[in-house]
Amino acid sequence: MDVTVSDATRFTMLTPRERDVMTYVAMGKPNKIIAAELGVSQRTVEAHRARIFQKMQVRNAVELVHCMLAS
């Protein structure tokens, strides 16, 4: 049996920091700018971004925005 998880359910799996990063990604901000605005390293932003894409089951920022709009 194939069980699908809704976008809203996937969104609740994100940590508060991942939600922060997701907001910046959805605005089209580059990792370097996100890092500067959140006061973390660029590598940390890259790690958060990768986990966001994995948890939300998307391949890029455009798909992420579609998921955000759908929830």
33-61 tens-digit pLDDT: 999 999 999 999 999 999 999 999 999 99
Q: What's the chain's average pLDDT?
A: 91
Whole-number pLDDT of residue 2: 42
Contacts of the segment 59-64: beta carbons below 8 A, 24+ positions apart: 61/25, 61/26, 61/28, 64/22, 64/25, 64/26
pLDDT over 70 for what percent of the chain?
Answer: 94
The CA–CA distances, whole Å, from 62 to 2, 10, 51 equal 25, 16, 16
Q: Domains of the chain by range and CATH?
A: 7-70 (1.10.10.10)
pTM of the model: 0.87
Count the helix, strand and coil residues of the chain and give each as a percent rounded to the nearest 5.
Answer: 70, 0, 30
pLDDT classification of 11: cutoffs 50, 70, 90: confident
The tokens describing 56, both together, are 């939300």
